[in-house]
Protein backbone atom coordinates (compact mmCIF):
# COMPACT_ATOMS: atom_id res chain seq x y z
CA UNK A 1 0.00 0.00 0.00
CA UNK A 2 1.48 3.31 -0.95
CA UNK A 3 1.53 6.18 1.46
CA UNK A 4 1.71 8.74 -1.26
CA UNK A 5 -1.49 10.49 -0.20
CA UNK A 6 -1.34 11.36 3.47
CA UNK A 7 -4.61 12.34 5.08
CA UNK A 8 -5.38 16.01 4.86
CA UNK A 9 -8.14 17.09 7.28
CA UNK A 10 -8.74 20.35 5.47
CA UNK A 11 -9.80 18.48 2.39
CA UNK A 12 -12.18 16.24 4.32
CA UNK A 13 -15.51 17.94 3.47
CA UNK A 14 -14.69 18.03 -0.18
CA UNK A 15 -13.32 14.48 -0.25
CA UNK A 16 -16.29 13.16 1.68
CA UNK A 17 -18.68 14.49 -0.89
CA UNK A 18 -16.84 12.52 -3.56
CA UNK A 19 -16.63 9.48 -1.30
CA UNK A 20 -20.36 9.49 -0.59
CA UNK A 21 -21.17 9.83 -4.25
CA UNK A 22 -18.80 7.28 -5.64
CA UNK A 23 -17.63 4.83 -2.97
CA UNK A 24 -20.12 4.29 -0.20
CA UNK A 25 -21.80 0.86 -0.77
CA UNK A 26 -25.42 1.98 -0.44
CA UNK A 27 -26.96 -1.05 -2.03
CA UNK A 28 -25.21 -3.60 0.18
CA UNK A 29 -25.78 -1.38 3.13
CA UNK A 30 -29.51 -1.27 2.53
CA UNK A 31 -29.69 -4.99 1.81
CA UNK A 32 -28.04 -5.55 5.15
CA UNK A 33 -30.12 -3.28 7.36
CA UNK A 34 -33.38 -4.12 5.66
CA UNK A 35 -32.89 -7.73 6.76
CA UNK A 36 -34.93 -9.30 4.02
CA UNK A 37 -38.09 -7.34 4.67
CA UNK A 38 -40.21 -6.40 1.71
CA UNK A 39 -39.83 -2.84 0.49
CA UNK A 40 -43.38 -2.04 1.47
CA UNK A 41 -42.75 -3.19 5.02
CA UNK A 42 -41.09 0.06 6.07
CA UNK A 43 -38.68 -1.87 8.25
CA UNK A 44 -35.63 0.04 7.10
CA UNK A 45 -37.41 3.29 7.92
CA UNK A 46 -37.57 2.39 11.61
CA UNK A 47 -33.81 2.47 11.98
CA UNK A 48 -32.13 5.42 13.59
CA UNK A 49 -29.11 7.03 11.99
CA UNK A 50 -27.08 9.76 13.53
CA UNK A 51 -25.00 12.14 11.47
CA UNK A 52 -22.12 14.05 12.94
CA UNK A 53 -21.45 17.21 10.99
CA UNK A 54 -18.60 19.65 11.13
CA UNK A 55 -17.67 20.90 14.64
CA UNK A 56 -19.41 18.00 16.36
CA UNK A 57 -22.92 18.99 15.43
CA UNK A 58 -25.05 15.90 15.94
CA UNK A 59 -28.17 15.14 13.98
CA UNK A 60 -29.83 12.35 15.88
CA UNK A 61 -32.96 10.42 15.01
CA UNK A 62 -32.60 10.53 11.27
CA UNK A 63 -34.48 7.86 9.40
CA UNK A 64 -34.94 6.97 5.77
CA UNK A 65 -37.72 5.15 3.99
CA UNK A 66 -35.67 3.73 1.16
CA UNK A 67 -32.15 3.25 -0.09
CA UNK A 68 -32.71 6.21 -2.40
CA UNK A 69 -33.67 8.43 0.50
CA UNK A 70 -30.67 7.31 2.50
CA UNK A 71 -28.38 8.11 -0.42
CA UNK A 72 -29.94 11.50 -0.77
CA UNK A 73 -29.68 12.20 2.94
CA UNK A 74 -26.06 11.20 3.23
CA UNK A 75 -25.02 13.08 0.13
CA UNK A 76 -26.89 16.17 1.20
CA UNK A 77 -25.45 16.38 4.73
CA UNK A 78 -22.12 14.85 3.86
CA UNK A 79 -21.62 13.75 7.52
CA UNK A 80 -18.14 13.49 9.01
CA UNK A 81 -19.34 10.43 10.81
CA UNK A 82 -22.33 8.13 10.48
CA UNK A 83 -23.65 6.18 13.46
CA UNK A 84 -26.23 3.44 13.43
CA UNK A 85 -28.81 3.22 16.19
CA UNK A 86 -31.55 0.70 16.96
CA UNK A 87 -34.74 -0.18 15.16
CA UNK A 88 -37.59 1.66 16.83
CA UNK A 89 -41.18 0.69 17.35
CA UNK A 90 -42.30 3.47 15.05
CA UNK A 91 -40.80 5.84 12.57
CA UNK A 92 -38.83 8.63 14.14
CA UNK A 93 -38.23 11.89 12.40
CA UNK A 94 -35.66 14.56 13.15
CA UNK A 95 -37.60 15.75 16.18
CA UNK A 96 -36.71 14.84 19.70
CA UNK A 97 -37.56 11.28 20.50
CA UNK A 98 -41.16 10.63 21.39
CA UNK A 99 -41.15 8.68 24.68
CA UNK A 100 -43.71 6.24 23.36
CA UNK A 101 -41.37 5.16 20.60
CA UNK A 102 -38.91 2.65 22.00
CA UNK A 103 -36.06 0.59 20.59
CA UNK A 104 -37.28 -2.88 19.73
CA UNK A 105 -34.44 -4.46 17.85
CA UNK A 106 -30.71 -4.05 17.68
CA UNK A 107 -27.69 -6.02 16.57
CA UNK A 108 -25.60 -7.32 19.42
CA UNK A 109 -22.57 -5.04 19.28
CA UNK A 110 -19.17 -4.93 20.85
CA UNK A 111 -16.75 -2.06 20.99
CA UNK A 112 -13.15 -2.72 21.86
CA UNK A 113 -10.95 0.23 22.36
CA UNK A 114 -7.19 0.22 22.72
CA UNK A 115 -7.41 2.92 25.40
CA UNK A 116 -8.85 0.33 27.78
CA UNK A 117 -5.53 -1.47 27.64
CA UNK A 118 -3.48 1.53 28.67
CA UNK A 119 -2.53 0.09 32.05
CA UNK A 120 -0.83 -2.86 30.38
CA UNK A 121 0.48 -1.41 27.15
CA UNK A 122 4.22 -0.81 26.92
CA UNK A 123 4.44 0.97 23.59
CA UNK A 124 1.72 3.57 23.29
CA UNK A 125 -1.08 5.15 25.26
CA UNK A 126 -4.51 6.69 24.67
CA UNK A 127 -5.48 7.06 21.03
CA UNK A 128 -2.18 5.91 19.62
CA UNK A 129 -1.58 2.45 18.28
CA UNK A 130 1.37 0.74 16.70
CA UNK A 131 2.19 -2.62 15.22
CA UNK A 132 3.25 -3.88 18.67
CA UNK A 133 -0.05 -3.34 20.41
CA UNK A 134 -2.38 -3.97 17.50
CA UNK A 135 -2.12 -7.76 17.99
CA UNK A 136 -4.18 -7.22 21.15
CA UNK A 137 -7.08 -6.47 18.83
CA UNK A 138 -6.29 -9.50 16.74
CA UNK A 139 -6.43 -11.63 19.86
CA UNK A 140 -9.72 -10.03 20.89
CA UNK A 141 -11.21 -10.94 17.53
CA UNK A 142 -10.05 -14.54 17.83
CA UNK A 143 -11.28 -15.04 21.38
CA UNK A 144 -14.63 -13.36 20.93
CA UNK A 145 -15.34 -14.75 17.49
CA UNK A 146 -14.81 -18.28 18.73
CA UNK A 147 -17.16 -17.76 21.66
CA UNK A 148 -19.82 -16.17 19.49
CA UNK A 149 -19.78 -18.89 16.87
CA UNK A 150 -18.93 -22.07 18.75
CA UNK A 151 -20.57 -21.37 22.10
CA UNK A 152 -23.48 -19.14 21.19
CA UNK A 153 -23.99 -20.46 17.68
CA UNK A 154 -24.13 -17.07 15.97
CA UNK A 155 -23.34 -17.06 12.27
CA UNK A 156 -23.70 -13.57 10.93
CA UNK A 157 -20.91 -11.56 12.40
CA UNK A 158 -19.27 -8.49 10.98
CA UNK A 159 -15.98 -7.25 12.39
CA UNK A 160 -15.07 -3.68 11.52
CA UNK A 161 -12.02 -1.53 12.05
CA UNK A 162 -13.09 1.59 13.89
CA UNK A 163 -10.77 3.81 11.84
CA UNK A 164 -8.35 4.65 14.59
CA UNK A 165 -7.68 2.62 17.72
CA UNK A 166 -10.21 -0.15 17.99
CA UNK A 167 -12.61 -2.60 16.50
CA UNK A 168 -16.35 -3.05 16.43
CA UNK A 169 -18.38 -6.19 16.14
CA UNK A 170 -21.91 -6.50 14.76
CA UNK A 171 -23.81 -9.72 15.37
CA UNK A 172 -26.75 -9.70 13.04
CA UNK A 173 -28.44 -13.09 13.49
CA UNK A 174 -32.13 -12.69 14.06
CA UNK A 175 -31.73 -14.14 17.51
CA UNK A 176 -28.99 -11.66 18.33
CA UNK A 177 -30.99 -8.72 17.09
CA UNK A 178 -33.90 -9.66 19.30
CA UNK A 179 -31.94 -10.16 22.50
CA UNK A 180 -33.32 -8.36 25.52
CA UNK A 181 -31.00 -6.46 27.76
CA UNK A 182 -30.53 -9.25 30.37
CA UNK A 183 -29.43 -11.65 27.65
CA UNK A 184 -26.92 -9.16 26.33
CA UNK A 185 -25.71 -8.71 29.84
CA UNK A 186 -25.30 -12.46 30.27
CA UNK A 187 -23.27 -12.79 27.08
CA UNK A 188 -20.95 -10.01 28.19
CA UNK A 189 -20.49 -11.63 31.59
CA UNK A 190 -19.79 -14.95 29.95
CA UNK A 191 -17.01 -13.25 28.02
CA UNK A 192 -15.64 -11.30 30.94
CA UNK A 193 -12.55 -12.42 32.80
CA UNK A 194 -11.36 -9.04 33.97
CA UNK A 195 -13.73 -7.56 36.49
CA UNK A 196 -13.91 -3.91 37.35
CA UNK A 197 -12.63 -3.54 40.89
CA UNK A 198 -14.94 -2.80 43.77
CA UNK A 199 -15.05 0.79 44.89
CA UNK A 200 -11.92 2.32 43.51
CA UNK A 201 -9.92 -0.88 43.48
CA UNK A 202 -8.19 -1.68 40.25
CA UNK A 203 -9.61 -4.17 37.83
CA UNK A 204 -8.50 -7.70 38.35
CA UNK A 205 -8.70 -11.05 36.69
CA UNK A 206 -9.89 -13.75 39.02
CA UNK A 207 -9.79 -17.33 37.84
CA UNK A 208 -10.98 -20.27 39.89
CA UNK A 209 -9.83 -23.81 39.36
CA UNK A 210 -13.20 -24.51 37.84
CA UNK A 211 -12.73 -21.64 35.37
CA UNK A 212 -9.51 -23.16 34.17
CA UNK A 213 -11.23 -26.41 33.32
CA UNK A 214 -14.33 -24.82 31.87
CA UNK A 215 -14.12 -25.41 28.17
CA UNK A 216 -14.69 -21.88 26.91
CA UNK A 217 -12.21 -20.37 29.34
CA UNK A 218 -9.59 -22.99 28.72
CA UNK A 219 -9.81 -22.34 24.99
CA UNK A 220 -9.43 -18.62 25.54
CA UNK A 221 -6.53 -19.15 27.91
CA UNK A 222 -4.77 -21.20 25.29
CA UNK A 223 -4.88 -18.23 22.94
CA UNK A 224 -3.92 -15.83 25.70
CA UNK A 225 -0.84 -17.82 26.76
CA UNK A 226 0.39 -18.06 23.19
CA UNK A 227 -0.08 -14.38 22.65
CA UNK A 228 1.61 -13.51 25.89
CA UNK A 229 4.68 -15.58 25.15
CA UNK A 230 5.06 -14.69 21.53
CA UNK A 231 3.97 -11.12 21.42
CA UNK A 232 4.88 -9.80 24.83
CA UNK A 233 7.72 -11.91 26.18
CA UNK A 234 9.52 -12.46 22.88
CA UNK A 235 8.63 -9.70 20.45
CA UNK A 236 8.33 -6.87 22.95
CA UNK A 237 10.96 -8.07 25.40
CA UNK A 238 8.49 -7.60 28.21
CA UNK A 239 10.74 -8.96 30.93
CA UNK A 240 13.71 -6.87 29.93
CA UNK A 241 12.00 -3.54 29.62
CA UNK A 242 11.98 -1.75 32.95
CA UNK A 243 8.44 -0.57 32.39
CA UNK A 244 7.23 -4.06 31.51
CA UNK A 245 9.03 -5.79 34.32
CA UNK A 246 7.59 -3.33 36.82
CA UNK A 247 4.07 -4.02 35.60
CA UNK A 248 4.56 -7.77 35.73
CA UNK A 249 6.05 -7.75 39.19
CA UNK A 250 3.39 -5.43 40.57
CA UNK A 251 0.81 -8.03 39.67
CA UNK A 252 2.42 -10.59 41.97
CA UNK A 253 1.13 -8.45 44.83
CA UNK A 254 3.10 -10.14 47.63
CA UNK A 255 5.96 -7.73 48.40
CA UNK A 256 8.28 -10.43 49.67
CA UNK A 257 7.76 -12.52 46.57
CA UNK A 258 8.26 -9.51 44.33
CA UNK A 259 11.62 -8.69 45.94
CA UNK A 260 12.77 -12.27 45.67
CA UNK A 261 11.78 -12.65 42.05
CA UNK A 262 13.33 -9.34 41.11
CA UNK A 263 16.63 -10.30 42.71
CA UNK A 264 16.64 -13.67 40.97
CA UNK A 265 15.68 -12.32 37.60
CA UNK A 266 17.86 -9.27 37.18
CA UNK A 267 21.11 -11.10 36.60
CA UNK A 268 19.50 -13.20 33.85
CA UNK A 269 19.57 -11.87 30.34
CA UNK A 270 16.92 -12.63 27.76
CA UNK A 271 13.26 -11.87 28.22
CA UNK A 272 12.09 -15.42 27.74
CA UNK A 273 14.63 -16.86 30.14
CA UNK A 274 13.58 -14.33 32.73
CA UNK A 275 9.93 -15.30 32.19
CA UNK A 276 10.82 -18.97 32.66
CA UNK A 277 12.53 -18.16 35.91
CA UNK A 278 9.56 -16.16 37.13
CA UNK A 279 7.22 -18.99 36.19
CA UNK A 280 9.27 -21.45 38.24
CA UNK A 281 9.41 -19.22 41.26
CA UNK A 282 5.74 -18.35 41.21
CA UNK A 283 4.99 -22.03 40.76
CA UNK A 284 6.86 -22.83 43.97
CA UNK A 285 5.19 -19.96 45.73
CA UNK A 286 1.74 -21.21 44.71
CA UNK A 287 2.59 -24.71 45.83
CA UNK A 288 3.72 -23.42 49.21
CA UNK A 289 0.35 -21.72 49.71
CA UNK A 290 -1.67 -24.70 48.64
CA UNK A 291 -2.64 -25.69 52.17
CA UNK A 292 -3.77 -22.22 53.10
CA UNK A 293 -7.39 -21.27 53.57
CA UNK A 294 -7.14 -18.61 50.91
CA UNK A 295 -5.11 -20.60 48.41
CA UNK A 296 -7.71 -19.71 45.78
CA UNK A 297 -6.31 -16.21 45.81
CA UNK A 298 -2.96 -17.36 44.53
CA UNK A 299 -3.44 -20.70 42.84
CA UNK A 300 -3.96 -19.35 39.34
CA UNK A 301 -2.04 -16.13 39.59
CA UNK A 302 0.16 -16.81 36.60
CA UNK A 303 -2.80 -17.20 34.30
CA UNK A 304 -4.48 -14.23 35.87
CA UNK A 305 -1.43 -12.15 35.14
CA UNK A 306 -1.44 -13.14 31.50
CA UNK A 307 -5.15 -12.49 31.24
CA UNK A 308 -4.62 -9.02 32.66
CA UNK A 309 -2.06 -8.32 29.97
CA UNK A 310 -3.99 -9.41 26.94
CA UNK A 311 -7.50 -10.78 27.41
CA UNK A 312 -10.14 -8.74 25.53
CA UNK A 313 -11.52 -5.75 27.37
CA UNK A 314 -15.01 -4.80 26.32
CA UNK A 315 -16.67 -1.45 26.65
CA UNK A 316 -19.71 -3.03 28.24
CA UNK A 317 -21.93 0.03 28.16
CA UNK A 318 -22.08 -0.22 24.42
CA UNK A 319 -23.29 -3.80 24.40
CA UNK A 320 -25.72 -3.67 27.30
CA UNK A 321 -28.73 -1.90 26.00
CA UNK A 322 -30.49 -1.57 22.70
CA UNK A 323 -30.05 2.09 22.09
CA UNK A 324 -26.33 2.71 22.00
CA UNK A 325 -25.08 4.22 18.78
CA UNK A 326 -22.17 2.65 16.98
CA UNK A 327 -20.15 4.01 14.10
CA UNK A 328 -21.30 2.60 10.81
CA UNK A 329 -19.08 0.40 8.68
CA UNK A 330 -17.67 2.42 5.77
CA UNK A 331 -17.94 5.61 7.73
CA UNK A 332 -14.69 7.59 7.58
CA UNK A 333 -12.82 8.33 10.77
CA UNK A 334 -12.72 12.14 10.88
CA UNK A 335 -9.38 12.26 12.70
CA UNK A 336 -7.44 9.76 10.61
CA UNK A 337 -9.34 9.81 7.36
CA UNK A 338 -9.32 6.01 7.36
CA UNK A 339 -12.36 4.10 6.21
CA UNK A 340 -14.04 1.77 8.73
CA UNK A 341 -13.51 -1.35 6.71
CA UNK A 342 -14.64 -4.85 7.63
CA UNK A 343 -12.10 -7.35 8.89
CA UNK A 344 -12.13 -11.00 7.96
CA UNK A 345 -12.00 -12.80 11.33
CA UNK A 346 -10.48 -15.91 9.78
CA UNK A 347 -7.54 -13.83 8.63
CA UNK A 348 -7.42 -11.47 11.56
CA UNK A 349 -3.64 -11.92 11.77
CA UNK A 350 -3.17 -10.43 8.34
CA UNK A 351 -5.17 -7.30 9.02
CA UNK A 352 -2.97 -4.23 9.17
CA UNK A 353 -4.64 -1.02 10.39
CA UNK A 354 -1.92 1.05 8.78
CA UNK A 355 -2.72 -0.40 5.40
CA UNK A 356 -6.36 0.66 5.61
CA UNK A 357 -6.95 3.24 2.91
CA UNK A 358 -7.52 6.85 3.82
CA UNK A 359 -10.10 8.78 1.92
CA UNK A 360 -7.37 10.78 0.12
CA UNK A 361 -5.72 7.59 -0.97
CA UNK A 362 -8.95 6.21 -2.43
CA UNK A 363 -9.42 9.26 -4.58
CA UNK A 364 -5.89 9.05 -5.81
CA UNK A 365 -6.16 5.34 -6.57
CA UNK A 366 -9.30 6.00 -8.53
CA UNK A 367 -7.81 8.70 -10.66
CA UNK A 368 -4.68 6.58 -11.20
CA UNK A 369 -6.92 3.79 -12.41
CA UNK A 370 -8.93 6.04 -14.63
CA UNK A 371 -5.80 7.48 -16.17
CA UNK A 372 -4.53 4.01 -16.91
CA UNK A 373 -7.92 2.93 -18.31
CA UNK A 374 -9.28 5.84 -20.33
CA UNK A 375 -13.05 5.52 -20.85
CA UNK A 376 -14.21 4.52 -24.30
CA UNK A 377 -17.28 6.66 -24.01
CA UNK A 378 -18.30 9.28 -21.55
CA UNK A 379 -20.62 7.22 -19.35
CA UNK A 380 -20.43 6.44 -15.68
CA UNK A 381 -19.32 9.70 -14.23
CA UNK A 382 -22.81 10.99 -13.51
CA UNK A 383 -24.72 10.91 -10.27
CA UNK A 384 -25.37 7.22 -9.99
CA UNK A 385 -22.43 5.41 -11.40
CA UNK A 386 -23.48 1.99 -10.15
CA UNK A 387 -26.96 1.88 -11.60
CA UNK A 388 -26.55 2.79 -15.21
CA UNK A 389 -28.58 0.14 -16.99
CA UNK A 390 -26.69 -0.26 -20.22
CA UNK A 391 -23.22 -1.64 -20.20
CA UNK A 392 -22.49 -1.26 -16.50
CA UNK A 393 -19.17 0.46 -15.93
CA UNK A 394 -16.88 -0.91 -13.32
CA UNK A 395 -17.89 0.57 -9.94
CA UNK A 396 -15.39 3.03 -8.54
CA UNK A 397 -14.63 1.07 -5.38
CA UNK A 398 -13.36 -1.79 -7.51
CA UNK A 399 -10.65 0.47 -8.81
CA UNK A 400 -9.25 0.96 -5.32
CA UNK A 401 -8.05 -0.81 -2.21
CA UNK A 402 -11.59 -0.52 -0.81
CA UNK A 403 -12.30 -3.61 -2.84
CA UNK A 404 -11.16 -6.03 -0.20
CA UNK A 405 -13.36 -4.52 2.53
CA UNK A 406 -16.38 -4.47 0.31
CA UNK A 407 -15.89 -8.08 -0.63
CA UNK A 408 -15.94 -9.07 3.04
CA UNK A 409 -19.05 -6.98 3.55
CA UNK A 410 -20.74 -8.56 0.57
CA UNK A 411 -19.99 -12.05 1.86
CA UNK A 412 -21.56 -11.07 5.16
CA UNK A 413 -24.70 -9.75 3.49
CA UNK A 414 -24.97 -12.75 1.17
CA UNK A 415 -24.78 -15.12 4.07
CA UNK A 416 -27.54 -13.24 5.85
CA UNK A 417 -29.67 -13.50 2.75
CA UNK A 418 -29.19 -17.23 2.55
CA UNK A 419 -30.29 -17.52 6.16
CA UNK A 420 -33.44 -15.48 5.56
CA UNK A 421 -34.38 -17.72 2.70
CA UNK A 422 -33.88 -20.79 4.83
CA UNK A 423 -35.89 -19.33 7.67
CA UNK A 424 -38.72 -18.36 5.35
CA UNK A 425 -38.81 -21.83 3.91
CA UNK A 426 -38.93 -23.32 7.39
CA UNK A 427 -41.72 -20.98 8.43
CA UNK A 428 -43.77 -21.98 5.42
CA UNK A 429 -43.48 -25.62 6.33
CA UNK A 430 -44.38 -24.89 9.90
CA UNK A 431 -47.44 -22.84 9.16
CA UNK A 432 -48.94 -25.19 6.60
CA UNK A 433 -50.63 -27.73 8.85
CA UNK A 434 -52.03 -24.93 10.95
CA UNK A 435 -53.59 -23.35 7.89
CA UNK A 436 -55.44 -26.50 6.99
CA UNK A 437 -56.90 -26.63 10.47
CA UNK A 438 -59.13 -23.67 9.85
Partner 1 sequence: MEVFGSAQKPTRRQAIYAGKKEETEDIFTVNFFLDPPYFEDITLQDFETYALERLKVLRIFENAAFKTTRGSPEYHDLILKELPKEMRYRYVRPLNGTAEDVILENRRLDVLSHFILRMVFSRNEEQKRWFIQQEVDLFRYRLSGETAGSVGAFFRVSNFNYTPLPDEEFRNIRPILEKSTFFKHGQISVDTEFYKLDFLEALAMVKKRHVFLSMGYAYVPRRLLVEVVADRFRDYLGLEIARLSKIILESQEDTRLLPVMAKLAVGYTGKDYSGGELDFGITPENLDQLSTESFPLCARNMHEHMRKDHHLKHEARLQFGLFLKGIGLSCDDAVRLFRQEFSKHGISEKQFNQGYKYNVEHQYGRVGRRVNYAPPSCTKIITTKPPNGPLEHHGCPFKHFTGSLLEQRLKTYGLPPKDMDAIKELAQKGHFQGACTKYFEFTHRKKLTTVVDQIQHPNQYFEESRRLIDPDSVKDRPPIFSRRRPVLNAIKTEPGNSQAFSQAPPDMSDMDTDFHMTDAEMEEAMRAHEMEVDPSPGDNVAV
Catalytic residues: 48, 111, 113
Q: Which of 213, 242, 256, 437 binds partner 1 (CB under 8 A)?
A: 213
Q: Which of 216, 268, 286, 316 binds partner 1 (CB under 8 A)?
A: 216
148 binds, among partner 1, Zn ion, none (CB under 5 to 8 A by kind): none
Q: Residue 156: exposed, middle, or buried by beta-carbon count in 10 A (0-12, 13-18, 19+)?
A: buried
- Interface with Zn ion includes 204 (CB under 5 A)? no
- Interface with partner 1 includes 185 (CB under 8 A)? yes
Q: Which of 5, 101, 124, 216 binds Zn ion (CB under 5 A)?
A: 124
Question: Rounded to the nearest whole angstrom, what is the least distance from the CB of residue 155 to partner 1 in the complex?
Answer: 10
- Interface with partner 1 includes 219 (CB under 8 A)? no
- Interface with Zn ion includes 135 (CB under 5 A)? no
Quickly count: other Cβ atoms within 10 Å of residue 3's Cβ: 9
Question: Rounded to the nearest whole angstrom, what is the least distance from the CB of residue 110 to Zn ion in the complex?
Answer: 10
Question: Rounded to the nearest whole angstrom, what is the least distance from the CB of residue 345 to Zn ion in the complex?
Answer: 18
End-to-end alpha-carbon separation of the chain, Å?
A: 64
Site for Zn ion in 57-116 (CB under 5 A): 111, 113
Q: Which of 187, 310, 326, 366 binds partner 1 (CB under 8 A)?
A: 187
Q: Which of 3, 100, 201, 210 binds partner 1 (CB under 8 A)?
A: 210
Q: Which of 33, 82, 109, 217 binds partner 1 (CB under 8 A)?
A: 217
- Interface with partner 1 includes 205 (CB under 8 A)? no
Which one of the spans 73-81, 119-127, 188-196, 266-274 is the region binding Zn ion (CB under 5 A)?
Answer: 119-127
- Interface with partner 1 includes 214 (CB under 8 A)? yes
Question: Rounded to the nearest whole angstrom, what is the least distance from the CB of residue 369 to partner 1 in the complex?
Answer: 44
- Interface with partner 1 includes 200 (CB under 8 A)? no
- Interface with partner 1 includes 55 (CB under 8 A)? no
Q: Which is nearer to partner 1, 183 or 259 (CB)?
A: 183
Q: Which of 123, 188, 216, 223 binds Zn ion (CB under 5 A)?
A: 123
Q: Which is nearer to partner 1, 88 or 154 (CB)?
A: 154
124 binds, among Zn ion, partner 1, none (CB under 5 to 8 A by kind): Zn ion
Site for partner 1 in 151-180 (CB under 8 A): 151-154, 175, 179
Closest CA to 18 of 381, 392, 399, 402: 381
Q: Note the residues at the interface with partner 1 (CB under 8 A).
A: 150-154, 175, 179, 182-183, 185-187, 189-190, 210-211, 213-217
Residues that bind Zn ion (CB under 5 A): 111, 113, 123-124, 130, 132-133, 162, 166
Amino acid sequence: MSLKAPFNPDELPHHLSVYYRRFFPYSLFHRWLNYGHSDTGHFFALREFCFTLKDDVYLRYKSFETQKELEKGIQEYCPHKIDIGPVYSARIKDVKLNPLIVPVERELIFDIDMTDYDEVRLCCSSANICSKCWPLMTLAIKVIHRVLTEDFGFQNILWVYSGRRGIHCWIADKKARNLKSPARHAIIEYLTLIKAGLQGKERRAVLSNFDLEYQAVSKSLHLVRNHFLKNLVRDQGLMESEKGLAKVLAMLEDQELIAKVRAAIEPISGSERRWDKLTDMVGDYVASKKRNQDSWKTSNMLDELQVMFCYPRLDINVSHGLNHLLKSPFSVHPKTGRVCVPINPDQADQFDPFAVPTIDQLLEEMSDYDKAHPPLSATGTGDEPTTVPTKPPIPDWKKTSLKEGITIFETFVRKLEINWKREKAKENIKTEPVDTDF
